[in-house]
Every structure is written in C-alpha cells, then in structure tokens.
Amino acid sequence: MSTPAVLKAWNDFNDRRQFIAGLVQRIIPIGKLLEDQKNDVFSVVMSLFVKKQDSDYTDFLLATCLYRYSMVQDVYLMTADQRSMPPQIFTLKGALTIADREGHIHNLGVYCIDHSNFAKVARKLEQPR
C-alpha cells in the first residue's frame, strides 16, 4: 500500500475507534449505578414495588437507570410492561400502539420519573411506624 493509502486506513481506523469509544461511554453502566449511594433510597423504594407487583429484576434495573439519568437530563423509558412502572413514582407521558412483524398489536407506555412524587414516597418510608 502507498503512504497516502496507509494514512487513510490509519485515520479511518482511528475515526472508527473514537466512534466506538464514544458509544461505550454512553452505554449505561448498570453495575456502577447499583453501587452508587445516590441510588440507595430509590433502590429501596423500587424494590418494594417490584416485590409487590411481582415485576422482573430487569424492570428494576431499567427504573434505576431512568432515575439516575433523569437527574441530569430529560430521559424517558418506553415499555410494554405497564405494570412495572408504579404510578406513585412514574408519570405516563404518552402511549404508542405498534404492530410487530407477525401483525400482533402492542401498546407501549412512555414514562418519566416524577421526582416530587418519588420524594413523597421516600419520606413516607423514612417515617417511624
């Protein structure tokens, strides 16, 4: 290969590497979220709802991610599992009906966290009984 071709290949490789590195930085680090003490109260509150509603652990993880990232920007969660998003904490912003490839209809809810409602639920848990 000629020098210009090698330089172009090298630059293309570096561009691709930077792109992938940027993606990796944006992937939600679940383990770090669960270890972050800022999420402790939310984790306790959500675990009570997950247990009561017999929701999946995946729902708990998604809710934790939504909570954590909603602190710095407006983020939403779209899910077909409406029962996993307790209305005491989450606000249904909208709904979307879709059809899959087999023609089955699914309703998806678009949720965000209502931080003031969450604070109320958390305060109730902190009160002695």
Residue 26 pLDDT greater than 60, yes or no: no
- What lies within 8 Å, CB to CB, of 28 at 6+ separation is 65, 69
Radius of gyration of the chain (CA): 21
Nearest to 49 by CA among 69, 71, 64: 64
Return the pLDDT at 33. 59
Q: Are residues 84 and 101 in the same domain?
A: yes
Q: Are residues 3 and 43 in the same domain?
A: no
What's the chain's average pLDDT?
76
Q: Are residues 103 and 82 in the same domain?
A: yes
Residue 65 pLDDT greater than 70, yes or no: yes
Residue 110 pLDDT greater than 70, yes or no: yes
Total-model pTM: 0.62
Nearest to 50 by CA among 89, 86, 87, 79: 86
- Percentage of residues of the chain with pLDDT beyond 70: 69
Q: Place 53 in a pLDDT band, splitting at 50, 70 and 90.
A: low
CA torsion through residues 51, 56, 57, 62, sign: negative
Q: Are residues 55 and 84 in the same domain?
A: yes
Between 62 and 107, the more confident residue is 107
Rounded to an integer, the average pLDDT of 44-60 is 70
Segments forming the whole domain that contains residue 100: 36-126
Q: Are residues 19 and 74 in the same domain?
A: no
Q: Are residues 120 and 74 in the same domain?
A: yes
Residue 9 pLDDT greater than 70, yes or no: yes
Cβ–Cβ < 8 Å for 84, 59: yes
Rounded to an integer, the average pLDDT of 72-78 is 83
Q: Count Cβ atoms within 10 A of the Cβ of residue 45 and give its class: 0-12 exposed, 13-18 middle, 19 or more buried.
A: buried
What angle in degrees, to the nearest 10, is found between the helix axes of 40-53 and 57-70? 150
Q: Are residues 65 and 107 in the same domain?
A: yes
Q: Are residues 17 and 54 in the same domain?
A: no
Provide the number of structural domains found in the chain: 2
